[in-house]
Amino acid sequence: MKVVYSDQYDLNLGNHVFPSIKYRLIKEKLLRDGIVSAQDIVAPPAASVDDIALVHDREYIGKLQSGKLSYMEILRLEIPYSPELVRAVWLAAGGSILAAQLALANGVSANIGGGFHHAYADHGEGFCALNDFAIAIRRLQKDKAIARAMTVDCDVHHGNGTAAIFAKDPSVFTLSIHQENNYPFPKPPSTLDINLRDGAEDDEYLEELEKGLDLALRQFKPELIFYVAGADPYREDQLGGLRLTLEGLERRDRLVLEKAEARKTPVAIVLAGGYARRVEDTVQIQANTIRLAKEFAR
């Protein structure tokens, strides 16, 4: 299975709750554990401005490129602005385009970066400057590689930017399963929202996810699924209030991948959030996702 990664994915945030060093640590663990070989790791090109403009307003793009975001715009982003940030999110968007193309060819692929689902067309928020997988969907639609896509967002936080971007688009089905009483507020409606109570554990989560996936896949026949495989439903996550175990998160990954395989639908994975008290736990969870995905690659 091909995995997309760049050393420049690191947002260089230093001592920040968002552990952007995790990208390098995940890549190193995948290699160390023999889950992938060096030849399986593919470096992405940066997305073009025209690709990004398929989703984001050109005025906002220009502000990001030139460093002219206002104080309030940076505050809403919740991470420091820097040229390294811009380079990282441009590469993450290119990485999600590449992962989607590889998934169409090979059944499944993963971008170690990406999953920035809080980014709206005209602004960033919640650590997310560009909505990389929305850009990838639009690029593949533009190329006529796909007509219909589904996002299955299993981050602990609602995918508000994604929901807003695709709100009036019947060609993209957005599914979000998340902790209801958590960021963001408000939550614009996805095509299907699964709002979980605080403290939901493995069995409840998996039962609700399976019901939601079955409903979504009866209603909609995607040609590609973007699986937003956040690690933050984990019980030890600093920004989450769900109670999933490591085993429960593996069962979640397998459930999504099996449902897609049963319908012969390619899956592109983005790893999204993860803020465990021990960064090693986040790395383990997200490496497990890629290890499981490898079973489903052609």
**Would you list the domain boundaries of the chain?**
3-294
Residue-wise pLDDT tens digits, 51-95: 999 999 999 999 999 999 999 999 999 999 999 999 999 999 999
CA dist list (Å): 67 to 84, 139, 252: 11, 25, 39
Instruction: Give the tens place of pLDDT for each residue, 24-61.
Output: 999 999 999 999 999 999 999 999 999 999 999 999 99
Dihedral of CA atoms 71, 167, 237, 248 in degrees, nearest 10, equals -170
CATH annotation of 3-294: 3.40.800.20
Taking the C-alpha atoms of residue 66 and residue 80, their distance in angstroms, rounded to an integer, is 15
C-alpha to C-alpha distance for 157 and 170, rounded to whole angstroms = 23
pTM equals: 0.98
Tell how many helices (H) and how many strands (E) occur in the chain. 10, 8
